[in-house]
A and B are shown apart, each in its own frame.
Chain A
Amino acid sequence: GENVEQHPSTLSVQEGDSAVIKCTYSDSASNYFPWYKQELGKRPQLIIDIRSNVGEKKDQRIAVTLNKTAKHFSLHITETQPEDSAVYFCAASMGTGGFKTIFGAGTRLFVKA
């Protein structure tokens, strides 16, 4: 089955700096790659996603890149703010049979003011 690995497990940056989180997946059939943000004590919520027919997607300060050949995808957050502090999960999904979604272990991001 699908396996998603995520690095780093913890990331600390200064406010205004950029943060990059990287994931790899194992199943070449995966075609949908969402990123979820989970604030302390809250439910995970989707912040950005990318499909396998696209190499890059951007939404304001966040962007995601996908390298299908290498089975890598990354989350980039620019101009980080204290409210970006949270746990970020990458995931991989197959667009058949109802989108079975497998998550990475998560990255705890600390943004220091």
Chain B
Amino acid sequence: EAEVAQSPRYKITEKSQAVAFWCDPISGHATLYWYRQILGQGPELLVQFQDESVVDDSQLPKDRFSAERLKGVDSTLKIQPAELGDSAMYLCASSRSTGAATGELFFGEGSRLTVL
């Protein structure tokens, strides 16, 4: 069964350093999402792509976060510089947006970031 791939699974960094996360969605899924999940809370949408275009990044802290999906397939989320409050699980998800689209999100296993 196809799954969303994410890397790295774990990342420990010092504050003010740069960090990057990678996501490869399920093949054929045009919509890709990055969520941040702080321990004990629900996933918070950071950015949503439709193919290579950003359709929503209203909750992305643009002074330090950036996201791209250049070819409309895999995506990278970058944080520079990292702050202590960025410690969280970063979840990538994908969904179909046409045809048999249901709205279901398929999540990757996440990248857990610890900022020291």
With contacts A1-B58, A6-B42 known, is A99 near B31, CB below 8 A?
Answer: yes
Structural contact, A43 and B91, CB atoms closer than 8 A: yes
The 8 A CB mask of B22-43 against A (1 = contact, 0 = none) is 0000000011010100001111
The yes or no answer to B109 lying at the interface (CB within 8 A) is yes
Given A98-B31, A98-B50, A106-B42, answer yes or no on A46-B58 (Cβ-Cβ < 8 Å): no
Residue in A6, A43, A46 whose CB lies within 8 Å of B110: A43
Contact, CB under 8 Å: B103 / A105? no
Chain B positions within 8 Å of A89 at CB level:
42-43
Interface size band for B:
20 to 34
Q: What class of interface size applies to chain A in its complex with B?
A: 20 to 34
Q: Are B102 and A101 in contact (CB under 8 A)?
A: no
Q: Among residues 34 to 48 in chain A, which have CB atoms less than 8 Å away from a CB atom of chain B? A: 34, 36, 42-46
Q: Does B90 contact A (CB under 8 A)?
A: no
Q: Which residues of A contact B91 (CB under 8 A)?
A: 43-44
Say yes or no: A101-B105 contact (C-beta < 8 A), given A6-B42, A44-B43, A89-B43: yes
The answer on a CB contact under 8 Å between A34 and B48 is no
Q: Is the CB of B48 within 8 A of A100?
A: yes
How many Å from the CB of B41 to the closest CB on chain A?
6
Q: Given A89-B43, A101-B103, A106-B40, output 14 extra A-B contacts at Cβ < 8 Å.
A: A43-B109, A44-B105, A44-B107, A49-B103, A95-B103, A97-B50, A97-B55, A98-B31, A98-B48, A101-B105, A103-B35, A103-B45, A105-B41, A105-B42
What would be 6 A-B contacts, judged by CB atoms less than 8 Å apart?
A1-B58, A44-B105, A46-B104, A97-B55, A103-B43, A104-B42
